[in-house]
Amino acid sequence: MPHDHHDHLSPSGHPYRPDDDHPLTYWQQMEIAVRELLIEKGVTTAQDINAQIDAMDARTPANGAAVVARAWTDPAFRTALLEDASTATREMGFDIGPMRLIALENTADVHNIVVCTLCSCYPRNLLGLPPDWYKSRAYRSRTVKEPRKILAEFGVTLPENTTVRVHDSTADMRYIVIPHRPAGTDDWTADALGALVTRDSMIGTGLAKLPSA
């Protein structure tokens, strides 16, 4: 075992996470105070808040994968999605609310990758909560300057003649990448194809899985 001599590591080989027993921060106190006041004054209830947290947790990249798989198998939907992704996905039951959605299609010549340099804008209704790295300063600052290096670090090396299009999600739009459909899947159903569509492939930091993988 490579980690045998390090007693600050758990049996799994990973470091123990420090206990979260520091005093509450200002904003933690503020959140608790506002939440308790809203409940006390009857504006909302603890059940409503828990239901909203459950609803947020229930949104996963499987939603986005269903959209991508349908775009791969239903040409009319693909056209509608590229034309107006908010409406096309809403009709599938994925309402993006007041935001608007743009679908970015990868082709043999173009690879799209999404970042929000200003904060962490992300199509949560299709992909769930963003991964920590998506919110990191490193990803946000480097993706607009050296996207090919970022892609290589994610294991994606593109041919020189592929155009990389970086999309900085700066305002009211949200973005989902439609990855390139893997070869050898011509007779696959949308359900089966959905299993090939990873979260990262819809951010643009990955590709769809290959049928054999």
CA distances from 112 to 58, 94, 212 (A): 27, 22, 24
Q: Name which of 174 and 199 has its Cβ closer to other proteins.
A: 174
Provide the b/e sequence for 165-196 (b: ≥16 CB within 10 Å).
ebbebeeebbbbbbbbbbeebeebebeebbeb
Q: Binders of other proteins among 140-199, rule CB under 8 A?
A: 144-149, 160, 163-173
169 carries an active-site annotation: no
User: Residues binding other proteins: what is the number (CB under 8 A)?
Assistant: 21
Tell the smallest beta-carbon distance from residue 171 to other proteins (Å): 4
The single residue among 39, 80, 92, 117 that binds other proteins, judged by CB under 8 A, is 117
Cα end-to-end distance, the chain, whole Å: 28
86 carries an active-site annotation: no
Q: In degrees rounded to 5, what are phi and psi of residue 25?
A: -80, 170
Chain-centroid distance, C-alpha 114: 9
Q: Name which of 44 and 170 has its Cβ closer to other proteins.
A: 170
119 carries an active-site annotation: yes
Question: In the complex, which residues of this chain contact other proteins (CB under 8 A)?
Answer: 100, 117-118, 144-149, 160, 163-173
Residues carrying an active site annotation: 116, 119-121
